Structures are given as C-alpha cells and as structure tokens.
C-alpha cells in the first residue's frame, strides 16, 4: 500500500535501477544510439517503445535533472547517457516555465527518461516509474514552486508520505476499471477520485453527481468524468464497507439517520410556516368577505324598508 520513502530516496533508487540495468552482463546495456547521441532525434525515436504511464514533461524533466546532476556518484548517469560530451549543456539548461509539449529542454530530458523506460521494460523499471510519479505528486502539493525550487526542496524534504494508502487504493481502482474498459490509465483521475474518499468514509454511501461536482470542482458538462467518478467511488464504498467492523457501519448509519431527520425537520418547519401563512391569508380573506356580506345585508335592509314604506 503506502510507500514510506523520501523524495531523495526515490531518486536514488531510480538511479540505482538504471545503472544496474546498464551494467547487467545479461545484455549489452543501453544502445549506442542513446549513450552516444548527438541530437534530440535518437532519444525521441527510442522513447516510443513499451507502454508506460506518462506523468508529464514537467515531472519527467525534474526527475532527469536530479539524476543527471544532483544525485549519484560522480554524475554516473550523465557519464552513461552523454559519452560524447556534446549534450550535457543542453540537459543542464532549465529553460522557461510552461514550455510547449514536444519542445524545449523539458521535452529533451523527458525523452531521455522515456527512452530508458522503453528499453528497460516494465519489470526492470518499477523504481524509475515510481520516482516519476512521486515528482508529479510532490508538485501537486507545492504547485507554486518552480522546477529548480521544487527539486531543491524535494532533495532535503524528510517527508515519507508522498504515496499514501489512499493513493494506492485510488490507483488500484483506476487500474481495474481501465483494464476492464481498455482505456489508458490517467493519473489525474486517480488524484480526483481520492478527494471523494473522506465523503464515503463519513457518509457510508456513494456520492451522487451533485456531491462529486461540489467536492471535486468537476464541470457539470463533463458527464463521462462524473459517471467514471461515481462508478469508481461506488467500488471504493463497497470495498471500504466490507472491511469495516459493524460498530463503524452502525455509526455511519446513525449519522445518515440524523442527517435525514434534520432534513425532515427542516422540511416540516417549512411546511408549518407555509401553512400558517396560508391560514393567515384565509382569515384575512374571510374577514374581508364577511364585511362585504354585512354591507350587502345593510343594503338589502334599506331596500326592504323603502319597499315597505312605498307599499304603505
């Protein structure tokens, strides 16, 4: 479930995994096309290999900068990937924030990362993929930091809660649903789904579309996302309730009854207020009508007296 390591440890483990793969005698390491490349085209071609979850150029750029220039013995990864000595200055340059996808230094560094993941395969690149995901998650917690600021903070951050149990559960649910439907994994969906877990735990029910929009800020027009989040949160509800003791579920049921009673009381109060208002209006109408009838009777009496005097 949760993975209790710091960001620095995640970087170190990814670097160790990559280095071990390159030095493994069972194969010839990374091809010369990658280790002796002189432009961006070779890594770009090699990056389109084995499928992996794409966590974005921003996070990929930060991870590669860390492994090339900040961690490891004597810049070991740079010595592996730039054996011509012609590319280090390109990878050292951060470039502007908010670079266009497919262009700029962020893309160049991420192409290196994707090339290695494609060549290593999913079984031998788990730590590297995890480090990429960790950078993305860390950025979600500190969205106002630049790449340099985030990397500097991450390297010294002692926190070990980057990947929590809820992260693992949300990812597991997303993976199961994507496997069933054949869709690609979208880490952003898992991030949004995780926001609904406290609601399910507190209410012991699946949030409806209104709840989902209120909690996640999702657009009411994005029906496919709302439906996906409803189905995913319902799966979480089923698994969560199956694991809870009866006392927890009883407390949740009691909360639901209290909520329902409060709603019923509010509706009854509105009804009584409305009824009193209607009764007041009816009384006023009755008094007005009675006054009118009295006036009519007076007129009729006068008419009667006139008629009697004339008859006399």
What secondary structure does DSSP assign to 225-245, as a single string?
Answer: HHHHHHHHHHHHHHHHHHHS-
pLDDT tens by residue, 246-258: 554 454 445 555 4
How many other C-beta atoms can be found within 10 angstroms of the C-beta atom of residue 43?
A: 23
Least confident of 21-30, 181-190, 281-290: 281-290
**How is residue 74 written in tokens?**
């004597």
**What would the mean pLDDT of 168-193 be, rounded to a whole number?**
91
The 10s digit of each residue's pLDDT in 256-308 is 554 545 545 544 555 455 555 555 554 554 444 444 444 443 434 444 344 44
Nearest-angstrom CA–CA distance, 289 and 204: 56
Both structure tokens of 252: 């949740």
Q: What is the mean pLDDT of residues 96-108?
A: 83
pLDDT of residue 290: 45
pLDDT at res. 101: 73
Please state, rounded to an integer, the average pLDDT across all residues of the chain: 82
Residue carrying structure tokens 């969906």: 189
Which pLDDT belongs to residue 268?
54
Top-confidence residue, 311 or 233: 233
């Amino acid at each position: 479930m949760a993975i209790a390591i710091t960001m620095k440890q995640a970087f170190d483990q990814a670097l160790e995994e990559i280095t071990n793969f390159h030095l493994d005698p069972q194969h010839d390491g990374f091809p010369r096309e990658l280790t002796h490349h002189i432009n961006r085209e070779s890594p770009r071609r090699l990056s389109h290999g084995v499928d992996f979850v794409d966590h974005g150029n921003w996070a990929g750029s930060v991870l590669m900068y860390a492994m090339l220039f900040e961690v490891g013995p004597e810049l070991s990864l740079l010595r592996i990937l730039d054996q011509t000595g012609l590319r280090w200055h390109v990878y050292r340059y951060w470039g502007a924030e908010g670079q266009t996808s497919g262009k700029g230094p962020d893309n160049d560094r991420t192409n290196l990362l994707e090339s290695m993941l494609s060549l290593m395969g999913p079984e031998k690149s788990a730590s590297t993929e995890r480090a990429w995901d960790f950078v993305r998650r860390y950025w979600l917690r500190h969205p106002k930091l630049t790449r340099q600021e985030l990397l500097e903070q991450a390297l010294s951050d002692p926190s070990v809660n980057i990947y929590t149990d809820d992260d693992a559960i949300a990812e597991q649910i997303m993976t199961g649903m994507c496997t069933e439907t054949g869709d690609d994994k979208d880490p952003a969906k898992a991030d949004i789904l995780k926001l609904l877990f406290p609601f399910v735990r507190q209410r012991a029910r699946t949030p409806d579309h209104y709840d989902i929009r209120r909690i996640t800020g999702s657009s009411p027009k994005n029906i496919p996302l709302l439906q996906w989040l409803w189905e995913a949160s319902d799966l979480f509800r089923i698994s969560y309730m199956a694991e809870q003791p009866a006392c927890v579920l009883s407390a949740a049921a009691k909360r639901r009854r209290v909520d329902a009673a409060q709603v019923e009381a509010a509706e009854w109060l509105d009804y009584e207020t409305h009824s009193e208002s209607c009764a007041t209006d009816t009384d006023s109408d009755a008094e007005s009508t009675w006054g009118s009838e009295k006036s009519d009777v007076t007129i009729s009496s006068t008419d009667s007296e006139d008629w009697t005097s004339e008859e006399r």
